């Protein structure tokens, strides 16, 4: 009889921010970074348009910055994250929101069709596999439910494959892209300036992969927005060029999709 070989699947890499949850909570605070406050949250609320009484799931909620804003709009909010430390921080900051430790790629704690809307703000690029996460987010949505993804713009912010380049002679700045179509898995520092040995992973995917994965799960994009930085450079010889290009190259991409099939 031939010998049977039993292969154990490789353990899934921990991409949560649990190891640095205390530091991250202090960094983000109650209202989020200046990008959250001035660009991401206003744009996300306008696109998702949460209504009073709607059941909304905030995936990878962290310590609850966006979940709290949804609650302020009158929504019945549930937040999930794989980082237990961030969930504890979220619970302390907003006890009127239900927070649970759960993985975006396996939402079996929720029945199908549980939510009117699902949000995933600045996290989908750190979640793998993408297909499992989108499938689960789509599954827990009601028919005609809404999904909102906000992420680093995959066309212009490719980890370790994109950068700002300055032409001092022409006093111009431009964006260099060395790779785009190839999917990439890139280690990133979770604790910059404190403990550089702590890393997690980010996953670059071209825009077409997001559209394809959404469509395969009955989710059709009905809104797409690209958000630029609100920041302005300090006075200096490159200020005009920096401010001009900052308004031309978007930092963030927002995709809103509707679930067509139950």
Q: Kind and range of the H or E element at 132?
A: helix 130-139
Question: What's the pLDDT at 196?
Answer: 67
Q: What percent of the chain shows pLDDT beyond 90? A: 78
Beta bridge partners of 174: 165
Global confidence as pTM: 0.88
DSSP per-residue codes, 45-93: HHHH---TT-EEEEET-TTSHHHHHHHHTT-EEEEEES-HHHHHHHHHH
Query: According to the model, what pLDDT value does residue 4 have?
Result: 47
**242 touches 229 (CB < 8 A):** no
What value, to the nearest 5°, has the Cα angle with vertex 261 and ends 258 and 262? Answer: 110
Whole-angstrom distance, CA of residue 117 vs CA of residue 115: 5
DSSP 236: S
Whether residue 26 has pLDDT greater than 80: no
Q: What is the pLDDT of residue 188?
A: 79
CATH fold for the domain made of 18-153+180-231+250-259: Rossmann fold (3.40.50)
What's the distance, CA 130 to chain centroid?
12
Higher pLDDT, residue 175 or 193: 175
Report the pLDDT value the prediction gives residue 261, as an integer from 0 to 100: 82
pLDDT digits (tens, 9 = 90+) for 203-220: 999 999 999 999 999 999
Tokens 């010889």 locate to: 237
pLDDT > 70 fraction of the chain, expressed in percent and rounded = 85
* Structure confidence at residue 105 (pLDDT): 97
Strand extents, DSSP E, 86-160: 98-101, 115-121, 141-152
Q: Is the bond preceding residue 129 a cis peptide, omega within 30 degrees?
A: yes
Q: Per-residue pLDDT tens for 148-171?
A: 999 999 999 999 999 999 999 889
What pLDDT does residue 33 have? 87
Q: Are 262 and 114 in contact (CB under 8 A)?
A: no
What is the torsional sign of CA 87, 89, 91, 93? negative
Write down the pLDDT at residue 24.
52
Residue 10 has pLDDT above 60, yes or no: no
Convert the pLDDT of each residue in 43-73 to its tens digit: 999 999 999 999 999 999 999 999 999 999 9
Residue 130 predicted with pLDDT over 70: yes
Span 245-254, average pLDDT: 97
- Cα 237 to Cα 232: distance, rounded to the nearest angstrom: 14
Is pLDDT at 28 greater than 80 in this prediction? Answer: no
**For the packed helices 130-139 and 207-216, what is the interaxial angle rounded to 10 degrees?**
40
Render pLDDT for 81-116 as a digit per residue (tens, 0 to 9).
999 999 999 999 998 999 999 999 999 999 999 999
| 187: confidence class by pLDDT, cuts 50, 70, 90 | confident
Q: Looking at residues 178-199, what average pLDDT do you find?
A: 79
Q: Is residue 15 over pLDDT 90?
A: no
Instruction: Characterize the bridge pairing of strands 252-259 and 219-227.
Output: antiparallel
């Amino acid at each position: 009889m031939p010998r049977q070989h039993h292969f154990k699947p490789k353990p899934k890499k921990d991409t949560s921010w649990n190891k640095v949850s205390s530091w991250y909570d202090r960094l983000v605070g109650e209202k989020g970074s200046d990008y959250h406050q001035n660009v991401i949250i206003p744009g996300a609320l306008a696109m998702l348009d949460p209504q009073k009484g709607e059941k909304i799931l905030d995936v990878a909620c962290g310590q609850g910055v966006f979940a709290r804003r949804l609650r302020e709009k009158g929504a019945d909010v549930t937040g999930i994250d794989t980082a237990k430390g961030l969930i504890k921080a979220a619970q302390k900051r907003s006890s009127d929101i239900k927070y649970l430790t759960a993985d975006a790629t396996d939402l079996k704690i929720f029945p199908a069709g549980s939510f009117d809307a699902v949000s995933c703000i600045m996290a989908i690029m750190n979640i793998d596999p993408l297909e499992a996460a989108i499938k689960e987010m789509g599954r827990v949505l009601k028919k005609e439910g809404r999904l909102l993804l906000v992420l680093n713009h995959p066309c212009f912010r490719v980890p370790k494959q994109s950068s700002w380049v300055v032409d001092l002679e022409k006093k111009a700045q431009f964006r260099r892209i060395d790779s785009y179509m190839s999917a990439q898995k890139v280690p990133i520092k979770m604790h910059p300036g404190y403990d550089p040995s702590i890393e997690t992973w980010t996953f670059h995917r071209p825009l077409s992969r997001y559209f394809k994965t959404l469509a395969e799960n009955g989710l059709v994009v009905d809104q797409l927005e690209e958000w630029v930085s609100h920041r302005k450079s300090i006075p200096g010889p490159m200020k005009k060029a920096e401010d001009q290009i900052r308004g031309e190259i978007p930092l963030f991409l927002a995709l809103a999709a509707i679930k067509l099939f139950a």
